[in-house]
Amino acid sequence: MRLFVSTRNKENAVFSKEAIISGLAKDGGLYTPIELNDIRIDLDKCLDLNYQELATYILSNILDDFTEKEIKACVINGYTDTFKTDDVILVTNIGNDFLLELYHGPTSAFKDVALTILPHLLSTAYKTHDKNKKIYILTATSGDTGKAALEAFKDVKNIYITVFYPQDGVSEIQERQMNTTRGNNVDVVSVAGNFDDCQRLVKTIYEDGEINETYRNVQLSSANSINIGRLMPQVVYYFKAYIALVKNEVIKLNDKVNFIVPTGNFGDILAGYIAKTIGCPINRLVCASNRNNVLVDFINTGIYDINRKFYTTMSPSMDILVSSNLERLLFMLSDCDDKRIKRYMDDLNANGRYEIDKKMLKKLQRSFVGVYVKESECKEAIHRAFHKDNRLIDPHTAIAYQASNKYTDGHKNIILATASPFKFSNSVLSSITGLAVRSEISAMNRLAQISKEEIPANLKDIDKLEILHNKTIKIEEGRDYVMERIKALND
Ligand SMILES: *Cc1c(COP(=O)(O)O)cnc(C)c1O
């Protein structure tokens, strides 16, 4: 069976069920599958599979300590009647390129694709594990993971969840979505800090040996893309989108394509790299960054340096400087050199910086390209998509759309559309019309009028829902806050 090993110490090796339950390895590293090259997804076979069948085929190859029957049940439970489209995703045209629409799920963000199935994977894994423990999921969010995770886990038996979001770092609608979530096992807290602070808080708690030793009735887990149960379901849509272009006779089977990915924590684009590794014909993965362009600089120079200003932008879900999943890519590119990865991560912690060697950089550049998109270009892109291509796109998608305009190499570009434009109504409206309106809700209605598109059901009456969560804490208070919850769960 396939091992998932910690990026910082290969000795810490588990099968996928345990990796999904624990989220992060105890040494702070990220569980990463090894020997993925052994998997060859048969594209011919994929041609006639619907989304559920394709997901079952791919996931049972990667998460191979689940039986195929178990995976199938998770897939059916996760992807039946949860998305507006039967096939979960849509591939549509935008100018000469293609949009991979990933936002038709329950919270209108691409995170739904993984988070609708994660609770089922987790519950299934848990059945074969230590059933007496309560699972406590800590989640840091830059806006979209939070709501998608809350919706996915609310009222799930034996699982409890706390979401931390940056106080001034999410859109008004994202905040409302989270703070109106019902369910007796959910908890939402805003933190006076940015996303990196929230993520650091959560990671520190995982690494806290004392907590793990003392509170034995509680198992900590994660709904962030540091959990492979979040990451792996995202591999599926790369294949699905590829097959869609083959079926529409845009490309021939085995022709290569590029995927343009608006990137924050590097989870989505890493899923693309895993797809490439197991047989999806991908030429380049284009990492599109907003003003927090630490990844683009890294892809160009091999130097990862977070000693720079943090900006809040129109695309808040990408306002991140420490992109967790990059650690997994480096591990894969270095042929599992855990000592080296540990050194890089220690450097990052101590000095906010590390530099990879030339050989590794070359290897990275064979698969990845970085494109930086400015705020003004993001606005122009939304404007252009609407007026020229007749498409309404959100600011994150717009970053990728603009990057796609800047990057052409003769292969077809598939742009990942990661959120509904209605989630960021005022930014989208003002980019299109030049005018912002009073509230996000009136912006949403105005946007529906001018685009003649329907507001997604989950957002439509969001102003009428009762606010159920309104806690704010300082970063320093985070650990105590979590400790109290853990103690209560442990009793
Ligand atoms: C989370 C998110 C991203 C970034 O995805 P990563 O996997 O963190 O790189 C991009 N766009 C939207 C709308 C998101 O919610």
Q: For the segment 89-113, what is each residue's pLDDT rounded down to a tens digit? A: 999 999 999 999 999 999 999 999 9
Nearest CA among 303, 302, 299 for reference residue 287: 299
Mean pLDDT of 31-57: 97
Q: Give pLDDT, residue 130.
A: 66
Residue 364 Cα to ligand 1 midpoint, Å, equals 21
Task: Give the distance (Å) from ligand 1 centre to CA of residue 143.
Answer: 9
- The average confidence (pLDDT) of the chain is 95
**Which ligand 1 atom is nearest residue 271's CA?**
7
| Closest of 68, 55, 63, 72 to residue 16, by C-alpha | 63
Question: How many A from CA of 209 to the centre of ligand 1?
Answer: 30
What distance in Å separates the CA atoms of residue 162 and residue 484, rounded to the nearest whole number? Answer: 12
Q: Which atom of ligand 1 is nearest to the CA of 262?
A: 10
CA of 419 to the centre of ligand 1 (A): 8
Atom of ligand 1 nearest to the CA of 418: 13
Please state, in angstroms and rounded to a whole number, the distance separating the CA atoms of residues 27 and 6.
8
Q: What pLDDT is attached to residue 257?
A: 98
- Residues contacting ligand 1 via CB (< 6 Å): 109, 111, 144, 225, 262-268, 317-318, 396, 418-419
Rounded distance between C-alpha atoms, residue 217 and residue 131, angstroms: 10
The atom of ligand 1 lying closest to the CA of 144 is: 15
Question: Distance between CA atoms of 282 and 98, rounded to whole angstroms?
Answer: 15
pTM over 0.85: yes
List, for residues 387-422, the tens digit of each pLDDT value: 999 999 999 999 999 999 999 999 999 999 999 999
Residue 213: the pLDDT is 83
Assess if CATH 3.40.50.1100 describes domain 90-108+231-456: yes
315 band by pLDDT with thresholds 50, 70 and 90 = very high
CA of 266 to the centre of ligand 1 (A): 8
How far, in Å, from the CA of 52 to the mean position of ligand 1?
23
Count other Cβ atoms within 10 Å, centred on residue 198: 28
Q: What is the pLDDT of residues 465-486, one digit of tens each?
A: 999 999 999 999 999 999 999 9
Which range, of 52-61, 108-117, 201-210, 396-405, averages the lowest pLDDT? Answer: 201-210
As a whole number of angstroms, the distance between CA 313 and CA 463 comes to 24
Please choose from 270, 318, 416 the residue to mutate so as to test ligand 1's pocket, defined by most ligand atoms within 8 A of CB.
318
Which atom number of ligand 1 is nearest to the Cα of residue 267? 7
Query: What is the pLDDT averaged over residues 375-380?
Result: 98
Mutate to test the pocket of ligand 1, among 108, 228, 265 (most ligand atoms within 8 A of CB): 265
Is the pLDDT at 129 greater than 70? The verdict is no
Q: What percent of the chain has pLDDT over 90?
A: 90
Domain spans of the chain?
A: 90-108+231-456
> Is the predicted pLDDT of residue 212 greater than 80, yes or no?
no
| Confidence at residue 211, expressed as pLDDT on a 0 to 100 scale | 82
Residue 438: its pLDDT value, please?
Answer: 86
SS (H, E, C) 280-299: CCEEEEEEEECCCCHHHHHH
pLDDT, position 246: 98
Q: pLDDT band for position 294 (50/70/90)?
A: very high
- Whether the per-residue pLDDT at 358 is higher than 90: the answer is yes
Query: For residue 167, what pLDDT is reported?
Result: 94
Residue to mutate, 396, 415, 422, ligand 1, most ligand atoms under 8 Å from C-beta: 396
Work out the burial of residue 287: count CB atoms within 10 Å of its CB; fewer than 13 is exposed, 13-18 middle, 19 or more buried.
buried
